[in-house]
C-alpha cells in the first residue's frame, strides 16, 4: 500500500489563513484594530514570533496595516490591495467566493481573453487556426462518449487558455494562469449548463470570428455568453 506525504501547515500559516478568512468573510472589517501580538499569542496559543511573522505577511498581502506605536489595523484590501491580495483570494478557491466576487473575477478573466481575441484576430497565422480547430475537433469527437462535466470543463478551459497563448502576449498568458484554479470550477459548471453541443457551437463561432478578423465581435460574444449564463443560473449580485 502506497502512502503519500502529508503536508501539515505551520502555526504561522494557520494564523495567517485564519485572519485572512476573517477579513474576507467580513468578521474583521476595515479599520478594526487587532489585539497586540502578545494578546493574540495568549488567545491562540501560538508563539509570539509566529504571530509577528504572520502579521508581516498579512501586511505584505494587503490585508493589514501596521502603524508604528499605534498598532495593527485591518486594511481596506479592495481599495489598497495589490497583486498579492488577489493571489491570496484566488488561492482560497471557492471558500470565499461570493456571487459578487465570482462575477468580478470572471468579468476580469473575460476582459483578458477579450484582449487576446482582438490581438489574435488581427495577427493569426494559418497554423493558429489549425490549432484552434483541433480543439473544436476534440469537442466533436467527444460526442457519444458520455464525458463528465469535469472533463468537458477541462476541455473548455484549455480552448480558452489556448486563445490567450496564441495571442503571444505573455502578460495575457500569465494573468490567465492566475485564474486557472478558480476558473476550473466555473468551467465545469458552465460545461454542465451549456452541454457539449452548446460548447461546440460557441467554440466554432469564436474561431469563425477570429478568421474574419472580428476580434471585438468575439470579445462581445464571450461577454454576452457569460451574462446569459449568469441570468439563466439565477446568480444574484
Number of H helices, E strands in the chain: 11, 2
Other beta carbons less than 10 A from residue 87's beta carbon: 13
Q: What is the pLDDT of residues 153-179, one digit of tens each?
A: 999 999 999 999 999 999 999 988 887
Average per-residue pLDDT for the chain: 90
Q: Say which CATH architecture domain 97-233 belongs to.
A: Up-down Bundle (1.20)
Whether 11-85 and 97-233 share one fold: the answer is: no
Query: Could you tell me which CATH number the domain at 11-85 has?
Result: 1.10.10.10
Q: Which has the closest alpha carbon to 164: 231, 207, 102, 117?
A: 117
* Domain residue extents for the chain: 11-85, 97-233
The DSSP element (H or E) to which 157 belongs, if any, is helix 149-167
Q: Minimal CA–CA distance to 110: which of 227, 232, 231?
A: 227
Helix (H, G, I), strand (E, B) or coil at 168: coil
Which residues of the chain are under the pLDDT cut of 50?
237
- Compute how many other C-beta atoms are within 10 angstroms of the C-beta atom of residue 229: 16
pLDDT score for 237:
47
Distance from C-alpha of 107 to C-alpha of 189, rounded to nearest angstrom: 16
Give the Cβ contact number of residue 130 at 10 Å: 9
Question: For residue 165, what are the CA distances in angstroms to 17, 201, 218?
Answer: 33, 21, 16
Amino acid at each position: 500500500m502506497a502512502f503519500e506525504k502529508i503536508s501539515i501547515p505551520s502555526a504561522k500559516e494557520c494564523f495567517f489563513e485564519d485572519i485572512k478568512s476573517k477579513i474576507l468573510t467580513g468578521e474583521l472589517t476595515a479599520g478594526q484594530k487587532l489585539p497586540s501580538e502578545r494578546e493574540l499569542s495568549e488567545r491562540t496559543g501560538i508563539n509570539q514570533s509566529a504571530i509577528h511573522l504572520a502579521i508581516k505577511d498579512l501586511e505584505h498581502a494587503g490585508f493589514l496595516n501596521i502603524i508604528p506605536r499605534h498598532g495593527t489595523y485591518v486594511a481596506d484590501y479592495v481599495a489598497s490591495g495589490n497583486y498579492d491580495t488577489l493571489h491570496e483570494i484566488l488561492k482560497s478557491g471557492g471558500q470565499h467566493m461570493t456571487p459578487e466576487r465570482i462575477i468580478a473575477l470572471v468579468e476580469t478573466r473575460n476582459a483578458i481573453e477579450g484582449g487576446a481575441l482582438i490581438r489574435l484576430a488581427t495577427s493569426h497565422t494559418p497554423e493558429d487556426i489549425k490549432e484552434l480547430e483541433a480543439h473544436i475537433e476534440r469537442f466533436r469527437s467527444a460526442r457519444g462518449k458520455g464525458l463528465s462535466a469535469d472533463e468537458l470543463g477541462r476541455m473548455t478551459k484549455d480552448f480558452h487558455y489556448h486563445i490567450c497563448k496564441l495571442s503571444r502576449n505573455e502578460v495575457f498568458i500569465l494573468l490567465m494562469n492566475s485564474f486557472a484554479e478558480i476558473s476550473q470550477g466555473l468551467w465545469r459548471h458552465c460545461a454542465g449548463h451549456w452541454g457539449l453541443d452548446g460548447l461546440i457551437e460557441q467554440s466554432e463561432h469564436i474561431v469563425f470570428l477570429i478568421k474574419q478578423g472580428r476580434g471585438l465581435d468575439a470579445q462581445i460574444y464571450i461577454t454576452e455568453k457569460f451574462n446569459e449564463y449568469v441570468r439563466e443560473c439565477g446568480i444574484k449580485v
